[in-house]
Amino acid sequence: MSQESKKKSTKFKKGNTIGKETRFEKDNKAACKYKEEYCDKIIEFFNKPATRVEYKETYYKGELTSRTPIIVPEAYPTFELFAASLGVTADTVRNWTEISPRFKFYYARAKEIQLGKLTSMAVTGLYNPVYAKFEAVNNHNQKDKQEIDTNIKEVAIDDKTKALIERVEKRLNAKQKNE
């Protein structure tokens, strides 16, 4: 087996080592990159305004005739984008919640802010409702609920329907006795 194929076969396995350090463990270099200032940075990242105002300008014969404001959504804040802004992976950011109770609190707060933005932007129609539902169900433990009335209510049945039901019941009972 060539060295190149050996590298490919072990490249992404759990416990793969780089020098003396093992990937995917809390004591690796990425985990050691944690700083207390990230608590403030995560809230700052997720608290950015959800929208911005742009203007649609209409010109007639080279002159501005109207300027209409349009509300445009900013990029949806994700933990992947936050991690990329710090130069680490989203898994590393999640691992930091196990290292620091303070960061765990701020991570949970950022998740709440994210859900709040998702909800308000979906309600106003600025986010695609199908994706908003997908995001809420898969990343925020929201449930797609339906209420079903299971109470049986008596329904008035006319004589012809009663007779039909009785005939069907007799046939079914007769078939069951024969079997």
Give the CB-side neighbour count of residue 97, counting CA atoms within 13 A: 14
Least confident of 2-6, 76-80, 126-130, 159-163: 2-6
- Percent pLDDT > 70 in the chain is 79
Alpha carbon distance, N-terminus to C-terminus of the chain: 68
CA distance 172 to 103: 67
pTM value?
A: 0.61
Mean pLDDT of 167-171: 87
- Classify the C-alpha dihedral 115-120-121-122 as positive or negative: positive
Q: pLDDT for 22-67, tens place per residue?
A: 444 555 565 578 899 999 999 999 999 999 999 999 999 999 999 9
CA triple 63-69-75, angle to 5 deg = 125
CA distance 152 to 5: 66
From the list 80, 59, 57, the residue with the least C-alpha distance to 69 is 57
For residues 54 and 153, which has the higher predicted lDDT (pLDDT)?
A: 54
Would you say 110 and 90 are in contact if contact means Cβ atoms under 8 Å apart?
Answer: no
> Quick one: tokens of 163?
């007779």
